[in-house]
Amino acid sequence: MAPRIIDIHPHVISTDTARYPIAPQHGHRSDWSATRAVTFEQLVDEMDDSGVAKAAIVHSSTTYGHDNAYVADCVARQPKRFTGVYSLDLLAPDALRTFDNWRARGMGGIRLFTGGATHQTDGNWLVNPATFPIWERCGEIGMTIVVQTTPVGLPMVAELATRFPKVRIALDHCARPVLEDGPPYAGCAGLFDLARFDNVYLKITPRTFDLAQAAPGGADAFFPHLVRVFGADHLAFGSNYPASAGPLKKLIAQGQACFAALSETERSWVWGRTAEILYPNLAD
């Protein structure tokens, strides 16, 4: 039986730049959002065509900065099918008030964006004590925090996982693992060390698919190994669509090929059941 699919990493971009102004974080807009953006309506059509049941839409910081209005308005249209993963400035003096305002507008998770294709930082602000009130609030209410980082930031993730054991932490793109050496993936020692934390989860996206397929042993070696290290119940699929070029159906097919060596139960966790842990409001 085909597993239920929940996508925890699609993006949407509005064509209405008057209502939703382009104001990218650090002033540099992502190429994908300018050249192959999809609207909420287009995403819904793609999901229907691809058999994706629900989604946690990830706000595009490289398009809108910390203004989550478009995703919030989209979630409000179908709140039983969607939740939003929003971005906000945790160092701002009014961060808790801003948090409460966005939470009232469909925020099901927070994304801490240390950088991507347009800008990269060392992310040291992640462990600035000024951000801890937000972490404490998320621990109190059971809200997931997504962290976009590279292997350089993994020691900070370990520090945060230790300090805030009640907060579920999901790492975008599996923290961009280093797989060139093949099994047993010595370059992933720092990533695999995070498996000791029950509150750390990995988001498996087409970026991860590409790395695994290009590595010695391919996806059939890497994903079973990742399941053995973390457990399938700590891995979740995210399409990264349209930042990862679609159509969405193509990205789903790539995932099906990459997960072929997993058991039916393991695939059910990665495709949807783990997502329901990370975003309880997407669970039936």
Instruction: Strand 107-113: give its sheet, edge to edge.
Output: 5-7, 52-58, 82-86, 107-113, 144-148, 169-171, 200-204, 235-237
pLDDT band at 115 (very low <50, low <70, confident <90, very high): low
**pLDDT of residue 122 exceeding 70:** no
pLDDT band at 25 (very low <50, low <70, confident <90, very high): confident
**pLDDT of residue 116 exceeding 60:** no
**What CATH number should be reported for the domain whose range is 5-282?**
3.20.20.140
pLDDT band at 108 (very low <50, low <70, confident <90, very high): very high
pLDDT at 119: 45
pLDDT at 1: 67
pLDDT at 28: 85
**pLDDT of residue 238 exceeding 80:** yes
Structural domain boundaries in the chain:
5-282
What DSSP line would sit under 161-184, residue for residue?
HHH-TTS-EEEGGGG----TT-TT
Q: What is the pTM of this model?
A: 0.95
Report d(CA 195, CA 112) in Å as an integer: 20
